[in-house]
Amino acid sequence: MGKITVIGVGPGSKDYITPIAEKKIQESEVLIGGKQQLALFPDQKTKMEIGKNLDIVVEFIKKNRDKKIAVLTSGDPGFYSILGLILNNFSKKDIEIIPGISSVQLCFAKAKEMWHDAWFMSLHGRETTGLIKQAKKHRKLAILTDQHMPPNIIATWLIENGIKSRRVVVCEDLSRPDEKVLESNLEEVSKMTFSRNCVMVIIDEMGI
């Protein structure tokens, strides 16, 4: 049986795909990934687009175990990705993981900040449980947002719960041609609108 290689392809642009990731993708016989990730590799013949029903992905992999399979994830596989599903359904000895550059890493680079001391949270389809507690506890927050919980709603929620004096960096569509990087504060961000593809970095500079 071939390996199941889970590959991080970065935040969106092909510029951020590592050489080892490119090599493993070219060696694969089957590509599995989201629409945007698969579009980066139009020459690959056998593909499966990941939809909402992840059980179908597992069954597809099981039926193609005789082939070299590459499962593409945005950013890094170890950070809120389909890797968890793969680890839960297949043996680790059959899995190879190729790290990638996450949107959080790139957002911190745009903000010109270290990120080893940040607290991370994804609000992709998740509740804000614990957000206020962590915002009060940590000087730096990094939040992945979606269309249901965009940066302006998060900023409003934080303000309403007594958190106001924070520097905010919002990165939209990172590494793509229409990339936007906004540096502001919670009050200003609460009045704006954003796309669905955002990373939000919140920094308490008074806590330095």
What is the mean pLDDT of the segment spanning 85-109?
A: 97
What torsion, rounded to 10 degrees, do the Cα atoms 168, 174, 176, 178 define?
Answer: -10
Is residue 98 within 8 Å of 24, Cβ to Cβ? yes
Is residue 12 within 8 Å of 24, Cβ to Cβ? no
pLDDT cut 90: percent of the chain above it:
82
Q: What is the largest CA-CA distance in the chain?
A: 56
Note the pLDDT tens digit of each residue in 1-31.
Answer: 788 999 999 999 999 999 999 999 999 999 9
Note the pLDDT tens digit of each residue in 199-208.
Answer: 999 999 875 4
CA quadruple 175, 180, 183, 186: dihedral positive or negative?
negative
pTM (2 d.p.): 0.89
Residue type, 130: G
